[in-house]
Copies of this chain bind each other. A is one copy, B any other.
Amino acid sequence: MARTADVDELVGRARAGDPRSVGRLITLVEDGASQLRGLMATLAPLSGRTHVVGLTGSPGVGKSTTTSALVSRYRANNHRVGVLAVDPSSPFSGGALLGDRIRMQEHATDREVFIRSMASRGHLGGLASATPQAVRVLDAAGCDPVLVETVGVGQSEVEVAGEADTTVVLLAPGMGDGIQAAKAGILEIGDVFVVNKADRDGADATARELRHMISLAPSEQGAWRPPVLKIVATQGTGLTELIDAIGSHRDWLESSGTGLLRRRQRARSEIQGIALATLQERFAGLGGDGALDALADEVASGQLDAFTAADRIVASIAG
């Protein structure tokens, strides 16, 4: 395990754009290394600059292909780009997924593109996601934007939206996604809707249905109206419009003050997640020192009631 001095050196190299150092820092984040706290304290003032774009959608809608196409466009504009491919179903992380490897391989030799697959759950007992911390590493390394790609399974897409500044929801024609979108609450989380594979039958119908559903949603003055775009990611069709839509949303976040509120909400969730995980860790570690046994004996013999004993335990956990 790296020492603190090494961590500072790693951060320095990561900021200079060294991919290997970025990778090692993300590994430290994922593993919950002992220097994690120090690392995050170092990164805090270096981050908070990037624009985090979440991409979500059902399996098969073309998330990785779209992500890869987006990377190409951002690279053409000379951006340094970070990609986190979050797999909510996998407890494993570190290496890239096979699918990502294939679809992302055109960027494999580009030193200005940082691609990382990770499990959605961090080390902290399955509660706190390591994603925000990995985003901070990429942010400090000068990546802007950071693309966070997640399979939309159950709750995970909502979590992705919670961690992104701009959430792009992908759909494909003929998958009944329109109806599903409404069901899954995807309408609420999408800032930009994309109908990929727009050269296929039903693309117009899917886009129309989406626009209709969006028009039914209540909207206040000055609120963001999510656009519905049609693209063919494999051919690069519609990508310019997608980049523009993401840019417009970023501008709106800034001008409306919503961006600030989202970042606050994101920080709230992150703090709560870490706090809850910390409490649970301490809770699980209870009783090793005999204090709990002593209290239990008092309760068992009727000298003390269980609530008073629990109060003492709660106080000791927080200490």
- Which A residues fall within an 8 A CB radius of B? 36-37, 40-41, 43-48, 132-133, 260, 263-268, 270-272, 274-276, 278-279, 283, 286-287, 292-293, 295-297, 299-311, 313-315, 317-319
A295 and B309: CB pair below 8 A? Answer: no
Residue of B nearest to A317 (CB): B318
Give the Cβ gap from A304 to chain B, nearest Cβ, in Å.
6
How distant is the Cα of A275 from the Cα of B301 in the complex, in angstroms?
19
A-B pairs with lowest CB-CB distance, top 6: A318-B318, A274-B310, A267-B296, A267-B299, A263-B300, A40-B305
Q: Give the chain B neighbours of A301 by CB distance below 8 A.
A: 48
Since A37-B308, A48-B300, A271-B296 are in contact, a sample of 17 more A-B pairs with Cβ atoms closer than 8 Å, ordered by chain A residue number, is: A40-B306, A41-B305, A44-B303, A47-B302, A48-B301, A260-B300, A264-B293, A267-B300, A270-B306, A271-B313, A272-B286, A275-B311, A279-B279, A279-B314, A279-B317, A318-B318, A318-B319
B296 and A268: CB pair below 8 A? Answer: yes
B276 and A283: CB pair below 8 A? Answer: yes
Q: Give the chain B neighbours of A319 by CB distance below 8 A.
A: 318
A307 and B272: CB pair below 8 A? Answer: no
Give the Cβ gap from A70 to chain B, nearest Cβ, in Å.
25
